[in-house]
Amino acid sequence: MSDDRSILILVDADACPVKDEVYRVAARHGLKTVVVANAFIAIPRDAAIERVVVGAAMDAADDWIAERARKGIVVVTADVPLASRCVKAGADVIGPTGRAFTDASIGMALATRNLMQDLREAGAVTGGPKPFSRADRSAFLSALDLAIVRLKRSGYG
């Protein structure tokens, strides 16, 4: 896949609204992107973009990504438990809205996610996520570019 000093982008692709943005930023920086999904997903014809179909098993895509997470890897996911696993492994993790998951923020993100899940299971109407916006897309582009630049400055490339 890549050597230990290469920057690699792993995308949790099922329901990811920013795949095209990932491809553009990765191309600008000359980086390889691996798109991981439970089923076939269309990707651009580009040698730097690889598709991995892991099958339909519960958490198969998450497990595949988490097993490869390390420093120098940028993971794009909205899945908070996966983000937690990847942060613990040293990866840079960014949500589609541009939210960076870090050692400092992941605990609160997990607690909030678990609380909301408990409320939904108890029958509370919690609404759901707000619609994905242009501002979210812009924040994501900035966060992804920042993570890559920071990794390059620290010796990854």
- Written as tens digits, the pLDDT of the chain (157 aa) is 556 789 999 999 988 999 999 999 999 999 999 999 999 999 999 999 999 999 889 899 999 999 999 999 999 999 999 999 999 999 999 999 999 999 877 767 676 666 667 667 777 766 666 788 999 999 999 999 999 999 999 999 8
Report CA 117 to chain centroid distance, whole Å: 21
How far is the CA of 119 from the CAs of 15, 60, 124, 129, in angstroms? 23, 26, 5, 14
Domains identified in the chain and CATH numbers: 8-152 (3.40.50)
Angle, vertex CA 88, rays to CA 83 and CA 93, nearest 5: 35
The residue with tokens 């198969």 is 60
CA distance linking residue 36 with residue 10, whole number of Å: 7
The token pair that represents 104 in the structure block: 């400092």
Report the run of H or E that residue 67 belongs to, with start and end: helix 60-68
Q: How far is 127 from 142, CA to CA, in rounded Å?
A: 28
Tell me which residue of 88, 90, 128, 125 sits closest to 106, measured CA to CA: 88
For residues 13 and 135, the answer to whether their CB atoms sit within 8 Å is no
